[in-house]
A and B are shown apart, each in its own frame.
Chain A
Amino acid sequence: EDQVTQSPEALRLQEGESSSLNCSYTVSGLRGLFWYRQDPGKGPEFLFTLYSAGEEKEKERLKATLTKKESFLHITAPKPEDSATYICAVPARTGGYQKVTFGTGTKLQVIP
């Protein structure tokens, strides 16, 4: 069965302390990988789409990269406003239909 696993579940960083979040996936025929940011009680906000191994995308302090088995979301010199849950997702064919499978997210807290 297609799966998406994110680690760590939670991460606490000091302001300015760079780190990476991991998203590993097992899906036959990857058709893309999405990253979202979700603030508490709000809908996920689309960040990036990656389509092929080696691809990178950047947005402010975030950079997403993709390999054949996993994706990383690098956060450089984070600020408190980067605190959120970061969720990755992949399109997958399950039970005869196409859907997007979401990971459970990494909850990031950036401390001033």
Chain B
Amino acid sequence: DAGVTQSPTHLIKTRGQHVTLRCSPISGHKSVSWYQQVLGQGPQFIFQYYEKEERGRGNFPDRFSARQFPNYSSELNVNALLLGDSALYLCASSPRAWEGNTIYFGEGSWLTVV
């Protein structure tokens, strides 16, 4: 079975642009979470979706938004990009709510804002 897949793997955007990152969870997993990992730091929680509803939100500005589709895939959208948004964006999936379950991460999408 395929693991968590993310696309694109790498992309470069200019300040002020918008970006959409995509994630497909492991088949059968209904929970998807997004994390931002700046170089040299641990991942920071952005959103969690479960059964297509937002279940948690981290301390990120409203420029960040996400949604989960009926097939449980998810998109992360970032508007008005800033240089500081340059990071590895990780998607993670788990079978149900993540509590106590192993969470599987994708390989991430590297975003560079210039």
**Are A and B associated in one complex?**
no
What is the interface of chain A, defined by CB distance below 8 A to chain B?
none
